[in-house]
Amino acid sequence: MLALILVPSLVALLVVVVAYGKGGWYGVNVVLRRGASIWVDTSPNDPRLSPGIRLSLAGQRTPDPAGPVGWRQVAAGLDVAELPVRVAGKPVDALLLSRIDPARYRFRVLSRPAGDRDVGEWMAATGAAMVVNGSYYAKDGPPDTPVVSDGRRLGPASYQATHGAFVVGGPGARLADLAGVDWRRVTAGASQAMVSYPMLMGADGRGRAVGDERWLANRSFLGQDGAGRIIVGTTRDAYFSLPSLAAFLPRAGLDLRLALNLDGGPVACQKVSAGGYLRDFCGRYETAVHGGRLQLLRPLVDFRRSALPIALVAVPR
């Protein structure tokens, strides 16, 4: 009886120790609260893949022209829309969109390396009307790109950035193209900032996304339109590779001037709660090629919501 009691406890303790050794408290929280994920072999016709993923893997990566964007105001300075993505008239994905006026909303870039907050917990803790996942993070949770959070510099001090940044300071919030520009100068004096990549639409109107077209995932991105509003987008499915998303956005009818990719896969989350409207979404798909093998990211336990070690929140002023 003593062995029956002790053995499971010792195994659980060993799992916690190994998780902490590999990823600090972030690793522990992933294992105990979120459920770890692993890469498993898949094929283009795997029924575990969504129809949109299977279509993209089959080479049909050019969507139909986008229809009109049906913006809906849910609060002053905050509009939402869902833009369908179709191939040969059939829906394969959708862009979940939020359009935010920086004059009416205060943006914050927040980091919790322990990974103990998901998108809803971030909203509850900050009083935000919109929360989206941020840029990339290291295996133990801290930012993997330069970040300014409430005036504090986080992430690597030495970093080569050639894509883009989200910056809050001076006149308001904006996106910055870092092509040929030092990110330190762009973020100097900022109260909030976040470097990310790739640039889906640069200042020249072109994207700088490259990579294997079989790397498909739920995506999150930031955009800035002609009126200076910040557009937050998250894909409902994983039809898009980064190059195909970069090719689609200029044709999406969003009046974008710049667009910057954020982290993706199951961590691609967006929640909006304002004026009686609620959107609460997190991704679940990511495929990639490792060692020449097509693989799918799968949870070991079940589909639990990913923690967001980095989050961008918009709080009403």
Q: Which domain holds residue 191?
A: 38-316
Q: How sure is the predictor about 303, in pLDDT bands with cuts at 50, 70 and 90?
A: low
Per-chain mean pLDDT for the chain: 92
Residues 77 and 217 occupy one common structural domain: yes
Compute the distance between CA of residue 26 and CA of residue 116 in angstroms, rounded to an integer. Answer: 7
Residues 107 and 28 occupy one common structural domain: no
Compute the distance between CA of residue 34 and CA of residue 305 in angstroms, rounded to an integer. Answer: 6
Taking residues 175-191, report their average pLDDT: 96
Beta bridge partners of 133: 311
Residues 185 and 308 occupy one common structural domain: yes
pLDDT tens by residue, 79-120:
999 999 999 999 999 999 999 999 999 999 999 999 999 999
Residues 98 and 125 occupy one common structural domain: yes
Residues 9 and 46 occupy one common structural domain: no
What total of structural domains would you count in the chain? Answer: 2
Residues 109 and 245 occupy one common structural domain: yes
Phi then psi for residue 246, to 5 deg, are -60, -35
DSSP string, 236-281: SSS---HHHHHHHGGGSSS-EEEEEE---GGG-EEEEEETTEEEEE
Residues 16 and 123 occupy one common structural domain: no
Residues 42 and 88 occupy one common structural domain: yes
Q: How far apart are the first and last CA of the chain?
A: 60
**pLDDT of 8 above 60:** no
Residues 69 and 28 occupy one common structural domain: no
Taking residues 20-42, report their average pLDDT: 74
Q: Tell me which residue of 303, 286, 285, 226 sits closest to 258, measured CA to CA.
A: 226
Residues 117 and 97 occupy one common structural domain: yes
Residues 9 and 81 occupy one common structural domain: no
Residues 15 and 89 occupy one common structural domain: no
